[in-house]
């Protein structure tokens, strides 16, 4: 296999879905937390989510000058909603049962314990590779 062919798409390792117990408050008949199916998102999907969560804020002391700001909480909710496969956060009946209208609001209603929600966000971020920087990866590869 030449160096070039190693980079072809068919040689790329596909990341599989995983499961995660997002909350202890939703359980099966034996009292075990329900497992949610989580999928990885692509760089392109992530950029679209970030773009949806950006706003321009005025720079103090600089009239007509703005800087971009990421609405972090909105981004995290959208990231979770984009990664959750099951339960189906787009299911109208499920949204109605919690009295919400969007997948983002639904995930926040279902995982309404702040500690569990924070852990869930951390899990999804780590699953999508946000746990290490490129510099850390390069240093690890050197050693």
84-140 residue pLDDT tens:
999 999 999 999 999 999 999 999 999 999 999 999 999 999 999 988 555 554 455
Tokens 């969560």 correspond to: 53
pTM above 0.85, yes or no: no
Please say if the pLDDT value at position 9 is more than 50.
Answer: yes
Q: What is the largest CA-CA distance in the chain?
A: 61
Tokens 């971009």 correspond to: 68
Positions of E strands within the chain? 18-20, 36-38, 54-58, 66-70, 84-86
Which pLDDT value is given to residue 11? 83
Cβ(88)–Cβ(115) below 8 Å: no
Span 9-36, mean pLDDT? 92
pLDDT tens sequence across 23-62: 999 999 999 999 999 999 999 999 999 999 999 998 888 8
Confidence class for position 143, pLDDT limits 50, 70, 90: very low
Contacts with 4 (C-beta within 8 Å, 6 or more apart), sequence order: none
């Amino acid at each position: 296999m030449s160096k070039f062919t190693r980079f072809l798409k068919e040689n790329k390792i596909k990341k599989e879905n995983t499961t995660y117990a997002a909350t202890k408050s939703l359980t099966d008949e034996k009292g075990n937390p329900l497992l949610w199916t989580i999928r990885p998102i692509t760089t392109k999907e992530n950029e679209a989510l970030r773009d949806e969560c950006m706003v321009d804020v005025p720079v103090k002391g600089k009239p007509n000058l703005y800087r971009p700001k990421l609405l972090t909480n909105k981004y995290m909710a959208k990231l979770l909603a984009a990664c959750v496969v099951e339960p189906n956060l787009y299911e109208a009946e499920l949204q109605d049962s919690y009295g919400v209208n969007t997948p983002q609001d639904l995930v926040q209603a279902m995982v309404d314990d702040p500690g569990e929600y924070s852990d869930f966000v951390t899990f999804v971020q780590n699953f999508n590779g946000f746990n290490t920087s490129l510099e850390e990866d390069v240093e690890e590869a050197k050693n």
